[in-house]
Amino acid sequence: MKKENWFIHTRVDIQPFVKALSQCKNKIDATGTSSAIGPYTKQYNYCDDKTPYAKVLKNTLKIVLQERPDYKDKIQLNKLDYVHLWTVEGSEHSYHRIHRHCNKPEDEHIRFDECISTVLYVNVPEKDPKGEFYCLIEKDNDTLLRCIKPVIGDLFIFPWTLYHGVYPQGPGLRKTINCDFSYKPSL
């Protein structure tokens, strides 16, 4: 039986996240190495201690799980281990090819069922098109397309296995903070 994907959409105050991200100083330009496409698209990977950001995000996930107890088996906070932290900045004509997260590009075909991805919108263009976030959710032996027009503070939480992307946007800045977790192996 095929595993089904899931998707959580919530809204948060971005200030604690932005402040925690500002404490991560070792930022590497990774533009052109990902699914982010566009003439002025930038991607920055954070390579130093990301504990401040992971702590804010884990606290938020705890609140989300209190509001949605049916996801407790999908997001086991006590086992989460930080993996990646990066930002993407898009401008007019920027978009993301459909993709799912993995440790290495050659592993995209492998299902990582015990990994969590998050996308937080900290900037969106003022006018349409804002670059709708879309994802393909496998449910009841069907694939559903979900499209969301982003607003500042949108936080999306989903497994690495979920295919997702962003439609082309209009003028203005679209910025997301992205963080992936895996589960620590059981002893």
**Average pLDDT of every residue of the chain:** 88
DSSP character for 59?
Answer: H
pLDDT at 18: 97
The sheet carrying 27-29 orders its strands as 8-11, 154-159, 115-123, 174-183, 80-90, 42-46, 27-29
Between CA 75 and CA 165 the distance in angstroms is 22
Q: Which phi-psi region, left, alpha or beta, contains residue 136 (left: φ > 0; alpha: ψ -120 to 50)?
A: beta
DSSP secondary structure code for residue 16 in this structure: H
Residue-wise pLDDT for 129-173, tens only, equals 999 999 999 888 889 999 999 999 999 999 988 999 999 999 999
pLDDT at 1 over 50: no
DSSP H helical segments within 49-170, as ranges?
A: 51-67
pLDDT tens by residue, 42-95? 999 998 888 899 999 999 999 999 999 999 888 888 888 877 899 999 999 999
* More confident: 39 or 145: 145
> Which pLDDT score, from 0 to 100, does residue 5 have?
83
- Domains in the chain (CATH in brackets) are 8-183 (2.60.120.620)
